[in-house]
């Protein structure tokens, strides 16, 4: 009853008497119908095995806000593909690499849409973004813009000096902090550096300062958003209550997101004013910048099939929103998980430092060109992604049409969860699954690029994370740079606490506080 209980607790006085009566009557009628007509034995005709839930409520009374854990335990009972009803919405849960391959590869076309919730509708400007846009012409245009203009190999190479500057700038700042023997919040510092990396990618300038509270406030705001987005919403699952917003989630996210919307609006207006001024002056033609904002605002197309001759502001803001949220929160959280796991394992830390000192030495900082030479680091990062995927259930998909999987009927508009967090803990998939053991990847061809269905931190196929090469590179870079440049001392209770804070993503429950001690000569930090 945990999830149901939380729904009604959060609803409080927001639930009107008429709504309660309507829901009560609906529930009562649905209880009576099975009694008269002999009951229900499946979630739908030829459904995969799974718990047959309550009328109207489905399986909601048996779920908590930790769906990835609930689904992991259910898979032990019902198998790698099971069904359930979330309110009146049909859903399936995929819990094995074999089933993931069937759903995400063999039948990818059937499973290429997204489930759009009330809260996601707000942050994506009514699904006007690449992650949540329906599969179709608009989504293809947005993906093509990102891949060809901003995330191509050439663009990736051009942005390397910027990435180096952000990482090395963080190391120099931490060196100054280390002189006062002060504990630092690793995730917050990584977040601010990543936010500046993203802001340069978006609008060619730093927007945050490690010594100022703006980065911390932005991180807290993003986490509040992610927490609300990851909360199952009664209104999405039982449409009769949607007008009442009983949990207040839509009101809450509108309030939080209003501040971010103003931030995106300001970035756009500043760039348009800059372009307008250059055109008015006439003497100096406006010079396009190699950044996301300019690419989106300058987009023009004569292709009538995609229906977009220019990108409306809603799409531009939707893309900015995703870039800032997805490009900072999940990566900084993964860096924090990685640091925690490595510092808890002295044997892993010793091997990493030996490799770093052999490849990089102690007379300079790590640079990106070192990463391909750091085989043990690469194994460590794979293990971090295995145990701590940024999004434990990937981003839920939705069936475009009815289809069959493993001989079972999957209805149209069925919610599809792929539990990569659960697969990482399945002894049928991994030996000693709960152990942080990078050695399992030494000599292994298994990678995170979406071809190995037992390791899918970025998803796979056409709806995989477009920005995964950048996130993948930055996790390697930050972990290597932080560990090579400093020794880290953390309180044992903080270090050994691997509890989780759950939203759409999973953060470390207790922030990793650690004191940096320089490992390199002072001249390296002071250059």
Provide the 3-class DSSP secondary structure of residue 284: coil
Place of tokens 């690449």: 130
CA 375 – CA 398 distance, rounded (Å) = 38
Residue 367 has φ and ψ, to the nearest 5°, of -125, 165
Residue 58 · residue 86 · CB < 8 Å: yes
* Counts for the chain of helices (H) and strands (E), in that order: 20, 12
Query: β-strands 89-94, 415-418: how paired?
Result: parallel
Provide the 3-class DSSP secondary structure of residue 335: helix
203 labeled binding residue: no
Helix ranges restricted to H, 89-245:
97-101, 118-123, 137-145, 153-158, 160-178, 186-203, 214-229, 234-237
Residue among 334, 374, 370 nearest 351 (CA): 374
Longest dimension (CA), the chain: 83
Beta strands in 433-509 (DSSP E): 486-489, 500-502, 506-508
Burial 33-71 (b: 16+ CB within 10 A, else e): eeeeeeeeeebeeebbebbbbbbbbbbbebbeebbbbbb
Residue 510 · residue 497 · CB < 8 Å: yes
Vertex 465 angle, CA 468 and 60, to 5°:
130
Residue 380 · residue 438 · CB < 8 Å: yes
Alpha-carbon dihedral sign for residues 511, 512, 515, 521: negative
Measured CA distances, 39 to 44, 54, 58, 82, 253 (Å): 12, 11, 14, 20, 39
CA atoms within 13 A on the CB side of 121: 11
Structure token pair of residue 469? 């090469």
Structure token pair of residue 383? 């293990």
Residue among 373, 371, 358, 264 nearest 319 (CA): 264
Which residues are documented as binding site for heme? 465
């Amino acid at each position: 009853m945990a999830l149901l209980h939380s729904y009604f607790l959060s609803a409080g006085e927001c639930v009107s008497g008429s709504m309660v009566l309507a829901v009560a009557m609906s529930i009562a009628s649905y209880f009576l119908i099975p009694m008269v007509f002999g009951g229900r034995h499946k979630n739908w005709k030829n459904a995969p095995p799974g718990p047959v839930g309550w009328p109207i409520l489905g399986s909601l009374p048996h779920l908590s806000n930790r769906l990835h854990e609930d689904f992991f335990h259910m898979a032990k009972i019902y198998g790698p593909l099971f069904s359930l009803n979330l309110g009146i919405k049909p859903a399936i849960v995929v819990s094995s690499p074999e089933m993931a391959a069937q759903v995400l590869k063999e039948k990818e076309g059937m499973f290429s849409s997204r489930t759009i919730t009330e809260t996601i509708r707000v942050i994506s400007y009514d699904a006007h973004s690449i992650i949540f846009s329906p599969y179709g012409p608009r989504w293809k245009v947005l993906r093509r813009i990102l891949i060809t203009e901003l995330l191509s190999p050439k663009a990736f190479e051009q942005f390397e000096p910027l990435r180096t500057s952000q990482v090395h700038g963080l190391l120099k700042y931490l060196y100054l902090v280390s002189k006062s023997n002060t504990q630092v919040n690793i995730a917050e510092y990584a977040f601010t550096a990543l936010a500046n990396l993203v802001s340069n990618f978006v609008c060619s300038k730093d927007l945050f300062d490690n010594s100022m509270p703006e980065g911390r406030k932005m991180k807290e705001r993003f986490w509040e958003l992610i927490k609300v987005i990851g909360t199952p919403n009664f209104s999405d699952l039982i449409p009769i209550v949607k007008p009442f917003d009983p949990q207040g989630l839509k009101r809450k996210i509108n309030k939080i997101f209003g501040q971010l919307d103003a931030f995106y609006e300001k970035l756009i207006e500043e760039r348009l004013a800059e372009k307008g001024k250059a055109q008015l002056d006439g003497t100096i033609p406006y010079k396009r910048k190699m950044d996301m904002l300019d690419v989106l605002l300058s987009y023009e197309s004569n292709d009538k099939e995609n229906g977009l001759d220019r990108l409306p502001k809603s799409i531009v803001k939707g893309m900015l929103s995703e870039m800032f949220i997805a490009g900072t929160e999940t990566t900084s959280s993964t860096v924090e998980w990685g640091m925690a796991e490595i510092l808890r394992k002295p044997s892993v830390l010793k091997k990493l430092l030996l490799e770093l000192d052999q490849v990089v030495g102690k007379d300079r900082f790590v640079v990106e060109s070192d990463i391909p030479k750091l085989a043990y680091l690469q194994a460590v990062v794979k293990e971090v992604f295995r145990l701590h995927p940024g999004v434990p259930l990937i981003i839920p998909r939705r069936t475009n049409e009815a289809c069959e999987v493993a001989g079972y009927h999957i209805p149209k508009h069925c919610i599809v969860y792929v539990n990569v967090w659960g697969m990482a803990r399945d002894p049928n998939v991994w030996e000693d699954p709960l152990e942080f053991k990078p050695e399992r990847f030494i000599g292994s061809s298994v990678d995170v690029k979406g071809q190995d269905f037992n390791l899918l931190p970025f998803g796979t196929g056409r709806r995989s994370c477009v920005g995964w090469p950048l996130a993948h590179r930055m996790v390697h870079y930050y972990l290597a740079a932080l560990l090579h440049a400093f020794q880290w001392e953390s309180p044992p209770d903080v270090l050994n606490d691997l509890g989780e804070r759950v939203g759409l993503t999973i953060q470390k429950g207790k922030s990793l506080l650690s004191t940096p001690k320089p490992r390199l000569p002072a001249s390296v930090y002071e250059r």
